[in-house]
Amino acid sequence: MHSAAKLLHQMGPRHVLVKGGDLPGSCDAVDVFFDGERIHDLSLPHVKTRNTHGTGCTLASCIAAELAKGSPMLPAVQVAKRFVENALDYSKEISIGKGPQGPFDHFLMLNRKVHNFRKKTVLDPSDLFLYAVTDSGMNRKWGRSIEDAVKAAIEGGATIIQLREKDAETRNFLEAAKSCMEVCHSWGVPLLINDRIDIALACDADGVHVGQSDMPVRTARALLGPEKIIGVSCKTPEQAQQAYMDGADYIGSGGIYPTNTKENNLTIGLEGLKAVCLSSKLPVVAIGGIGISNAHAVMELGLPNLKGVAVVSALFDQECISTEVKKLYEVLSRASSEVK
């Protein structure tokens, strides 16, 4: 599919979307988007149903509608794909006619009073690929707002954002979180809040990330509900197994390398990361001292549930965030391709 996208792009279009929802034997509906520079694999669970008539036209119409509303091309495609997936799931049991293929209900928005397709309600593991974690001190150092920092990270290719503002006042943090929510959702990128469940609830963030000394995952889940993303920091296989039993959606494991971002942070190294990954069924993102120079070594471990890296200073303690994100994305993409 990657080769097909590149060949089609050579024929002249600015963007190419190769659909893979009907590929036999696949548990996921994987589409490939190519903008001439970067390949994006867009994956959602495959909905088993005979009611697929009209999906292509609906997808194209939804993309056009999102573009008309001012969305960039990639977010428009992501929103459209999510809409079609939800519509398929909504209408999978409809029984109309006796043929091998039935129609799906692309008017489900009229049948559901509240349904935000721009917001993801479950974690897509591919979102962990390039996980950007903000730092207020670094933003102050470079004289930029958290909103500008988040926007620059997303423009560079960050696939998920975590607001980690340990020294921010609650009111200021909430206002910044609301602004960042608008930025993230305009691009179709999930936004998580570090530790602060109250902020996540108040701004309706996509989820939270908690540490071992923060609010327990079970309590966070009870407060946030089943539709929000919850990640938890784990250094040991025992913690990883507990995270799974407690209902976490993903694990952040590290520090992989020494870092100045956290004081007294135990380094577990690549072997520790491997142990956590092998002990858990959850997707894992590596964190701690990771940057352009060593991200390849992390991803070349080739572990199936190691989905990406989380980065702080290598992105936000730099003069140009978007440039550094692009460089890191290229390193990760190259490493992932070599592992495959």
DSSP reduced 3-state for 218: helix
HSE-CB of 337 using CA atoms within 13 angstroms: 12
Residue with tokens 């577990």, as numbered in its chain: 268
Q: Is 196 an active-site residue?
A: no
Tokens of 208: 């939270």
Catalytic residue, chosen from 50, 92, 144, 262, is 262
Question: The dihedral of CA 71, 75, 78, 82: what is its sign?
Answer: negative
Establish whether 334 is a catalytic residue.
no
Q: 164, 221, 307, 327: which is the annotated catalytic residue?
A: 164
CA–CA dist 38, 228 (Å, integer): 29
Q: Which of 288, 283, 333 is nearest to 306 (CA)?
A: 283
DSSP string, 253-310: E--SS--SSSTTPPP-HHHHHHHHHHH-SS-EEEESS--TTTHHHHHTT--TTEEEEE
The pair of structure tokens assigned to 77 is 């495609």
Residue 309 in 3-state DSSP?
strand
Q: Tokens at residue 279, please?
A: 């002990």
Beginning with the edge strand found earlier in the chain, give each strand of the sheet holding 28-34 in spatial order. 16-18, 28-34, 39-45
Question: Which token pair is 73?
Answer: 């091309």
Question: Which ranges in the chain belong to alpha helices (H)?
Answer: 2-9, 55-68, 73-90, 108-111, 136-142, 146-156, 170-187, 197-203, 217-224, 237-246, 269-279, 295-299, 313-316, 321-339
Choosing from 71, 91, 126, 233, which is the catalytic residue? 233
- Kind of pairing between the strands at 229-234 and 207-210: parallel
The single-letter code of the amino acid at 319 is E
24 Cβ neighbours under 8 A, 6+ residues apart: none
* Catalytic residue flag (residue 233): yes
Catalytic residue annotation: 164, 233, 262
